[in-house]
Amino acid sequence: MDLRLDGITHRYDGLLVLDGIDLLIRDGETVAIIGPSGCGKSTLLGIVGGLLRPSAGTVRTIGKPRADSLNPFTYVFQDFALLPWRSVAANVALALEHHPLPRAERQARIKAALGLTGLGDFADALPRQLSGGMRQRVGLARALVVRPAVLLLDEPLSALDAQTRELLMEDLLAIWARERSTRLYVTHNLDEAARLADRVVVLSRRPGRIREIVSIDVPVAERLSASALPVIAAVRDRLWALIRDEARVAEREVQHA
Amino acid sequence: MPEPDVRGAGGVADGSATIAFRGGGFQPQPRRLVPFIVFVLVIGLWQAASWRGWLPDLFMPSPWQIVGAFGDMLHSGTLTRHVGASLSRIALGWLFGTTAGLAVGLAMGIFSVARAGGLPVVSALFPIPKIALLPLFILWFGIGEPSKVATIGFGVFFPTVIAAYTACDSVPRNLIRMGQSFGLPAHAIVWKIVVPGAMPGILAGFRITASIALILVVAAEMIGAEYGIGAFILSAGNLMQTDQLLAGVTLLSLLGLAVSTVLGAVERIVLRWR
């Protein structure tokens, strides 16, 4: 299933945040979206998943999502959005409870998702007992359990410390090698974009427009190898060069909110 | 500047000095004995003042006399009768008020129409001291139990409504968005996200309504009741039996403590996830 964004435009109370975003996302591709603060990255993700209504423009799917997908567009949130009163397994189960599934399949899906995210031994733990990294793994497991066609990751590692972020990036690459879905990854971290994505969409300062799309010519499966490092570093520098001046202006801007 | 001499740290001759500690404090520490000491001291001083004759028995009986009055009540069976009458009124009134209050409050927390319609009514009726309505309830329901239960129920209802709908507001919006993003139906979002998320606020409201129920039961029983702690205190006052009067007041303190202990236990169980 491909995804096509046509002229996505969004205003908050008259303030134009996204202006005419056209983008084709191919099935199975990982697209990162970066840009200076306030460029509408997260807004764009909200629109793609149907949580926000765009002021203008459309998001279309081309083709059918995979047959076993219970929730084709599935989010992973920056703040994890876990229910604190539910255990890890119950948080993951939440995504399945309103779907008529045989009990065995439900259990199997939950077990597989927990295994894939390294949470097998933590099924009964409560969120407050977990570190930030483990909490986001629960968020990931909950997203994977519905077998999404498009995984919408909204700054998924931003709330984590640098070391945990590093670990989760490795885990994400491993998961992406095994789980086939299209991925839209919003981040302000250039390193994440350069290491995790096939293509990086660079948005301009508000109103967000596509400035450039940078392709990374190392298959995601080989991203952890030593030979990938120079390529990733070069992409990272390129992205910074693209974004730097605007990031500085954006930083000095008075908040409108 | 000379090289710092590590060996001489803390010494005097070389001009070095230890950095004085200036942190700490401003953090309550457990002091296990102090509560008992203060409690015993207060009661002890009171008792001593009575023995010395500084406090007239008729107006301020000694703790020992109050304990005696307590014992008499326990033996004669009046204690159970009065406490039973008050407790059953509190239980019924609180249950009615809480049930209705939760229904209305959650509706106001979830539905915009219920909020818009309910808020002015609640705002207008909430500030009325509910005991003022007892005469009306007596006209409607008679002098017996229903008018007292209605007063308590009414007094409990409004704070419960307010606690419930503000608790709904305090449920993080991102959790609701998460539910929507996974395609949860609206009723599932309410029962699996909003209601459990509102529990801390609702339970905090229970503490308030429990104390309101206690106030109202005493007031209602003072206006017209044969049995009940309020009636007992009033009649003890009329007969100048101050030891019995204060025994009744002590009973109220114990009752309040018991209720708050029960609510604390409920909170620990229901909010174990916190």
> Model confidence over B103-112: pLDDT tens digits?
999 999 999 9
Separation between Cα atoms, residue B151 and residue B155, nearest integer Å? 6
B194: nearest CA partner in chain A: A83
Residue A77: closest CA among A15, A136, A126: A136
Segment B68-78 mean pLDDT = 92
Query: With contacts defined as CB-CB under 8 Å, which chain B residues touch A86?
Result: 273
DSSP-based three-state secondary structure for A64: coil
Residue B3 clears pLDDT 90, i.e. is over it: no
In angstroms, the Cα distances linking B164 to B98, B122, B192 are 10, 13, 16
Domain count, chain A: 1
How close B102 comes to chain A (CA, Å)?
20
Residue in B175, B199, B273 nearest the CB of A128 = B273
Residues 134-173 of A with CB under 8 A from B: 142, 146
**Which residue range is the domain that position A122 belongs to?**
2-252
Task: Assess if residue A175 is contained within a domain.
Answer: yes
Domain count, chain B: 1
Query: With contacts defined as CB-CB under 8 Å, which chain B residues touch A126?
Result: 273
Task: Assess if residue B21 is contained within a domain.
Answer: no
Question: What CATH number is associated with residue B232?
Answer: 1.10.3720.10
Q: What percent of chain A has pLDDT over 70?
A: 98
Query: With contacts defined as CB-CB under 8 Å, which chain A residues touch B267?
Result: none
Task: Assess if residue B6 is contained within a domain.
Answer: no
CB–CB of B183 and A98 under 8 A? Answer: yes
Task: Assess if residue B117 is contained within a domain.
Answer: yes
CB–CB of A77 and B178 under 8 A? Answer: yes
Residues 233-252 of A with CB under 8 A from B: none
> Which of A98, A124, A135, A154 to mutate against chain B (most B CBs within 10 Å)?
A98
Q: Which residues contact A11 (CB under 8 A, 6 or more apart)?
A: A17, A55
Task: Assess if residue A11 is contained within a domain.
Answer: yes
Whether A124 and chain B come into contact, CB under 8 Å, resolves to: no
Task: Assess if residue B210 is contained within a domain.
Answer: yes
Query: For residue A9, what pLDDT is reported?
Result: 95
Residue in B182, B193, B274 nearest the CB of A71 = B182
Query: With contacts defined as CB-CB under 8 Å, which chain B residues touch A79?
Result: 174
CB–CB of A94 and B177 under 8 A? Answer: no
Task: Assess if residue B189 is contained within a domain.
Answer: yes
Identify the helix (H) or strand (E) that includes residue B200. helix B195-223
Query: With contacts defined as CB-CB under 8 Å, which chain A residues touch B193?
Result: 83
Task: Assess if residue B236 is contained within a domain.
Answer: yes
A:B CB pairs within 8 Å: 49
Question: What CATH number is associated with residue A174?
Answer: 3.40.50.300
CB–CB of B183 and A71 under 8 A? Answer: yes
Q: What is the ipTM of this complex?
A: 0.93
Query: For residue A66, what pLDDT is reported?
Result: 81
* Residues B92/B99, Cβ–Cβ less than 8 Å: no
Query: For residue B5, what pLDDT is reported?
Result: 59
Query: For residue A68, what pLDDT is reported?
Result: 83
pLDDT band at A97 (very low <50, low <70, confident <90, very high): very high
Separation between Cα atoms, residue B53 and residue A52, nearest integer Å? 78
Query: For residue B4, what pLDDT is reported?
Result: 58
Task: Assess if residue B41 is contained within a domain.
Answer: no
B177: nearest CA partner in chain A: A51
| Tokens, residue B151 | 């007063």
Query: For residue B1, what pLDDT is reported?
Result: 55
Angle at A189 between CA A183 and CA A193, to 5 degrees: 40
Residues B138-161 as b/e (b if ≥16 CB within 10 A, e otherwise) read: beeeeeeebbbbbbbbbbbbbbbb
Mean pLDDT of chain A: 92
Residue A85 CA to its chain's centroid (Å): 25
**Which residue range is the domain that position B237 belongs to?**
63-270
Task: Assess if residue A257 is contained within a domain.
Answer: no
Residue in A98, A126, A127 nearest the CB of B184 = A98
Segment B65-75 mean pLDDT = 93
Q: What is the DSSP letter of A2?
A: E
Q: What percent of chain B has pLDDT over 90?
A: 87
Residue B25 clears pLDDT 90, i.e. is over it: no
CB–CB of A71 and B185 under 8 A? Answer: no
Task: Assess if residue B38 is contained within a domain.
Answer: no
Q: Return the bridge partners of A208, or none.
A: A18
CB–CB of A94 and B184 under 8 A? Answer: yes
* Residues A90/B193, Cβ–Cβ less than 8 Å: no
Task: Assess if residue A93 is contained within a domain.
Answer: yes
Segment B118-130 mean pLDDT = 95
* Residues B107/B118, Cβ–Cβ less than 8 Å: yes
A76: nearest CA partner in chain B: B178
CB–CB of A75 and B274 under 8 A? Answer: no
Segment B39-54 mean pLDDT = 95
Residue in B178, B196, B273 nearest the CB of A81 = B178
Residues B56-89 as b/e (b if ≥16 CB within 10 A, e otherwise) read: eeeeebbbebbeebbeebeeeeebeebbebbbeb
B171: nearest CA partner in chain A: A83
- How many Cβ atoms sit within 10 Å of the Cβ of residue A213? 11
Whether A45 and chain B come into contact, CB under 8 Å, resolves to: no
- Look at strands A56-62 and A30-34 and give their pairing: unpaired
* Residues B221/B235, Cβ–Cβ less than 8 Å: no
Query: With contacts defined as CB-CB under 8 Å, which chain B residues touch A49?
Result: 181
Segment B231-252 mean pLDDT = 95
Whether A51 and chain B come into contact, CB under 8 Å, resolves to: yes
> Which of B171, B176, B182 to mutate against chain A (most A CBs within 10 Å)?
B182
Query: With contacts defined as CB-CB under 8 Å, which chain A residues touch B273?
Result: 84-86, 126-128
* Residues A84/A127, Cβ–Cβ less than 8 Å: yes
Segment B190-213 mean pLDDT = 96
CB–CB of A81 and B192 under 8 A? Answer: no
Query: For residue B52, what pLDDT is reported?
Result: 93
pLDDT band at A256 (very low <50, low <70, confident <90, very high): low
